[in-house]
A and B are shown apart, each in its own frame.
Chain A
Amino acid sequence: MNEQSVICTRGLTRYFGSKPAVDNLNLEVPRGSVFAFLGRNGSGKTTTIRMLLGLLEPTRGSGTILGYDIRALPPEARARIGYLTEDHQLYGWMSVKECGEFQSRFYPRWNEKIFRGVIGHFGLKQTARVKDLSRGERAGLCLGLTLAPEPELLVLDDPALGLDPVAHRSLIESMIYLTRRSDRTIFFSSHQLADVERVADYIAVLDRSVLRVCCPLEAFRNSVRQVRLRFSGAPPPMPKIPGLLQTIRSEGELRVICAHYNGATEAALRALNPAQMEPVPLNLEDAFIGYLGERGEKSFILPETEAQP
């Protein structure tokens, strides 16, 4: 296990019933990075995060977080890890001030300025009760409570869920702000690909409980390419090309999305004898959807219209 990794898992597996929710996860998160953890709903992201934080017992496998075994996290580990849950749940009867006081008594390294700063940034009143706050305001409060102890590792589970655009922007700004210190790491799961594009250094993608991608963001973008093949007649059937993700067939053309696009892939496509072959640029969202969507072929050929009388 690399000393430079803040999170390292070996074969981490969790079963619910007879199906694995997380299957043989080998993940390494480098220190000082912003690491995005992606996947469709139900692919196992939250389960992984819960296991990493000692809230759920793995069925099999092991992991370390900040060097501590995840099955036995001591209090000093928890002092260095900040955890933001997706629901931003807090005690409804507490006021903002009481939340701050409650939290501050547990952490020796509590920075009241940061807490006040975040609270002020989100426009929260000290006397407001948590149950009267909107979702975005609650998110801001939770963020303040999590950032004030100045954690080395920040673990965020879908932090932008349900946030209004202003709160959303504030959240991303806080994450960028955190990167000022090079020993701080952020590990977050999200569905907001715009956020991922902005802030992530590395991404990992869980596809139905299996880790299939773990690389820098640019490597993912470079690896997944889309190519349009135009044919004079009907396009031929698509052969099995390694790394093929999706094929879209329409009148006289095939659009192919491939992972690991390289010379061999290009040669295999040329072998189909297209009249024209050109790359189609992909943005991150399309690349991601292409990667995680339904594999196989989609056809947009309209059925023959009936002969006119």
Chain B
Amino acid sequence: MKTLIRKELRENLKLAVLGLIIYSAFLGLNIHTYSHWMQSVAAGGQGQREVAMMQPLVSGEFWGLSGILCAAFGAILGWFQIHNERQRDLWAFLVHRPVTRTQIFFGKILAGLMLYLLVAGLPLTGYLLWALAPGHVAAPFEWAMLRPVAVFSILGMVYYFAGMLTGLRQARWYASRALGLGAAAVVSLAVMYSTPHFWQALAAILIGSGILAMAVWGGFHSNGFYRGQPAPGRLALAAALVPGCALISFFAICLLFKLLVQVPEPLFPYYRMNQDGTIYKITPRKEGWQPEIADLEGKPLVDTKTGSAPKWAEFDQRKCYEDPIRPCFDNIANAYRDPWFNNSCNRFTFWRETADEFWFYCNRNGRLAGYDKKTRRFIGSLGPDGFSKGLTGNGDHFDRAGFYEPLQGVVLRDARTVYQPFPEQRRVNALFTVTNENCEAVTQATNSSDRIIGAVNEVWINGYDWNYIIVVTRCYVHLLAPDGKELWRAKPAYPEYNQVTVACLESNNQFALCTSPSWRAQGKSGGKLPEQVTWLDRDGRVLKSADLPALSYHPYNLGLAQKLFSLSLPPVLYVTFPLLQGSPWPSAIQWVLVKYSLTAALLCLPIGWWLGRRYSLPLPARLGWAAFQLCFGIPGLLAQLSVEEWPARETCPNCKKLRVVDREHCEHCGGDFAPPEKNGTEIFVPLETSRT
């Protein structure tokens, strides 16, 4: 086998070198772009400050294009290794030697995978060495950030086997050959979107490569045909084509859906507060139509001047300024359960830049990390206790910004205090602290690290004063002036309520505080919990309060689209999907989708069975296909149609029925296949060996 490996390495070296050059060029370009950008930033350039730009390792361009290059190279390499012996006689030359087909298979793939690892790994290693060396990238680094690019590099293995399968399969249409690539595409999608844990992504890649590799192995045994390979190969081939067929049936149904069905957008009404504090109920109508505007009693609003409904554009301008906040009192780790993919890319956020420095918020240690723009070196970190040269300080940290909290806010907070960092001065100012006096919950707190503060936000007062601060604690909502002095506090009703909106009513110098219930609480009560609105004057005294019936709760409903998609996708998907993610839908909904999918599968069963009978497949094969279609539905049927090589049929002279030609005897009457007719000119002489 070593000879085979050596021959394969030598044969595909040129392609590998080409891949190496292209990938290195791409990564080199990446380095150059970043350095060029950093130099312009250091010289005082303005422009976008995105995390993706500042830490190239997490940018979609980097891992996305890397992934595409690796996938393309993998597929091309796999295809080429088969294409090298595209001449049938050359394939015969390779295969007719005293080694098993399995050994030839391993010879090829070991060489191919070696080349692939070299081409995918070498430039990447060089790039990482550059990125990790201090003084090159002015942004925080964590090893977890490498997960996306690592996974995408390994993903190329799946494309490698898919490319090989494409080259190997003897199928009438080239498109049918390329179905293997569909499997690779589905694995890519699964890895990005459907595997919450990192190990699941690796498992998906392993399973995908395993199935495709097994299909290729079987193809080596049968020279690319379906018949003639051992049973595991046939099963793997059919399974490998299912994702591609699922994509086809999915897109077909999408197309049909788009063309035939016009499903109107659901139109849900909502509340709108104007700058004078009046609340209106807005009901959107079909596209192109102006929404309905009514007051709380249901009376439609009428413009006094025109006598009919006011123009929407005009009405919209009178909207009040409001800032929504979602306080969170849970453990942060529970609150932020990102799938591994998002998690890897969101290890830090850009907080602020000064004239010479970048400052980032690192999720892991909850501190602000500073990098010098010119030297691109780490300066130190800021925490509630102040500046420290290391990354962790003495364990003091700010809480991570939640939903609707600004990422680049002036203030940061931890469990009990709101801070204002001054990075140029390397110090942090404590602006506001919850104590026994301003919050009863402090005394009730059992643990000193219990979060009392749920969220902070910045608001604009009067349309032009900014940097006023809203702090939501377990007891009150506080409004603070930029220097930290409390202006007022108000008491909403929670913890069932997790949406707090503070509106600044310019026209009459008032504030309005609206609280809405959480999705879960609404679900439990069946959508009955009201939204609370409290109007406050400048000093925080309650002027008025009202309960509005909830409008924004809508129980999850399955749309027609989802039902149709479930017809086109395999039942086995709907059964295993929730096991991976913990179902995003209630189990009742899940069951409906499973039922739709199973119905489609059960409809495919008779078709598959009929085909089996028509072409007289042996009973184990028919049962196998039936089980296959039960698991995979319409894609399973399509896979069977792509993969099976249907035998020809002829009329039996005995029983006059059509019979298949690949059996020794007629399946209806048991008659033999008659030898072809003699025409009287045959010359047959019994052979004897006669050598002197």
Contact = CB atoms under 8 A, between A and B. Distances in A.
Q: Is any CB of A less than 8 Å from a CB of B in the complex?
A: yes
Interface of A: 4, 11, 13, 15, 17-20, 23-24, 28, 30-33, 50, 53, 55-57, 59-61, 71, 74-76, 78-79, 81, 83, 85-91, 93, 102-103, 105-107, 182, 201-202, 209-210, 212-216, 219-220, 223-224, 242-245, 259-260, 291
A78 B683 contact: no
Contacts of B92: 50, 53, 55, 83, 85
B253 interface: no
A87 B664 CA distance: 34
A59 B679 CA distance: 25
Nearest to B13: A93
Contact of B98 (A11, A78, A90): A78
Contacts of B679: 212
Contacts of B90: 89-91
Nearest to B672: A11
A30 B96 contact: no
Interface string B629-647: 0000000000000000001
A15 B684 contact: no
Contact of B3 (A74, A105, A202, A245): A105
A75 B98 contact: yes
B667 to A, nearest CB: 13
Contacts of A30: 687-689
Contacts of B222: 57
Contacts of A212: 679, 681-683
Does more than half of chain B's interface fall in helix, strand or loop, or is it mixed?
loop
A79 B98 contact: yes
B687 A182 contact: no
Interface string B651-689: 000000000011110000000010110011111110111
Interface stretch (B223-231, B338-346, B364-372, B437-445): B223-231
Given A15-B647, A78-B98, A85-B93, A28 B683 contact: no
A57 B228 contact: yes
Given A85-B92, A91-B11, A32 B691 contact: yes
Given A31-B689, A59-B647, A87 B7 contact: no
Interface in B1-29: 3, 7, 10-11
Nearest to A16: B648
Contacts, number: 135
A244 B680 CA distance: 8
Contacts of B685: 214-216, 219
Contacts of B99: 75, 106
A256 to B, nearest CB: 13
B100 interface: yes
Nearest to A90: B93
B219 to A, nearest CB: 13
Contacts of A243: 680-681
A245 B98 CA distance: 45
A13 B661 contact: yes
Given A23-B676, A78-B96, A89 B684 contact: no
16 contacts: A15-B661, A24-B673, A30-B687, A33-B691, A55-B96, A60-B662, A60-B664, A75-B97, A91-B7, A91-B84, A213-B683, A214-B683, A224-B683, A243-B680, A245-B681, A260-B683
A87 B89 contact: yes
Contacts of B676: 23-24, 209-210
B675 A24 contact: yes
Contact of B689 (A4, A24, A75, A291): A4
B257 to A, nearest CB: 37
B87 interface: yes
A158 B553 CA distance: 80
Contact of A107 (B11, B93, B98, B649): B98
A43 to B, nearest CB: 13
A259 B648 contact: no
Contacts of B95: 55
B683 to A, nearest CB: 5
A216 B689 CA distance: 10
A93 B98 CA distance: 23
Nearest to A106: B97
Contacts of A28: 687
Interface of B: 3, 7, 10-11, 84, 87, 89-93, 95-100, 222-223, 225, 227-228, 647-650, 661-664, 673, 675-676, 679-685, 687-691
Nearest to B662: A59
B98 A60 contact: no
Nearest to A83: B96
B93 A291 contact: no
A213 B685 CA distance: 8
B683 A223 contact: yes
Contact of A60 (B100, B661, B680, B688): B661
A50 B649 CA distance: 23
B3 A214 contact: no
A33 B675 CA distance: 27
A250 to B, nearest CB: 23
Most B-side CB within 10 Å, residue of A32, A81, A215, A242: A215
A216 to B, nearest CB: 6
Given A24-B675, A223-B683, A260-B683, A56 B98 contact: no
A182 B149 CA distance: 65
Contact of A182 (B10, B663, B691): B691
Nearest to B87: A89
Given A15-B661, A89-B87, A213 B98 contact: no
A223 B681 CA distance: 10
B100 A291 contact: no
A76 B97 CA distance: 9
Given A23-B676, A50-B92, A182-B691, 4 more contacts: A55-B92, A55-B95, A60-B664, A85-B89
A78 B104 CA distance: 14
Nearest to A61: B664
Contacts of A224: 683
A210 B677 CA distance: 9
A309 to B, nearest CB: 50
Nearest to B682: A212
B168 to A, nearest CB: 14
Nearest to A85: B89
A106 B98 contact: yes
Given A24-B675, A83-B96, A85-B93, A59 B681 contact: no
A302 B682 CA distance: 34
A78 B228 CA distance: 18
* 3 tightest Cβ-Cβ pairs between the two chains A and B: A215-B685, A79-B98, A85-B89
Given A57-B227, A212-B681, A102 B3 contact: yes
Nearest to B648: A18
A186 B650 CA distance: 36
Contact of B683 (A210, A215, A242): A215
Contacts of B647: 15, 59
Nearest to A31: B689
Contact of B682 (A4, A31, A213): A213
A214 B687 contact: yes
B125 to A, nearest CB: 29
B652 to A, nearest CB: 14
Contacts of A15: 647-648, 661-662
Nearest to B228: A57
Nearest to B687: A30
Contacts of B3: 102, 105-106
Nearest to B91: A55
B517 to A, nearest CB: 68
Nearest to B689: A30
A219 B690 CA distance: 14
A87 B85 CA distance: 13
B602 to A, nearest CB: 33
A50 B96 CA distance: 11
B98 A291 contact: no
A55 B91 CA distance: 9
A32 B692 CA distance: 11
Contacts of B661: 13, 15, 20, 59-60
Contacts of B682: 212-213, 259
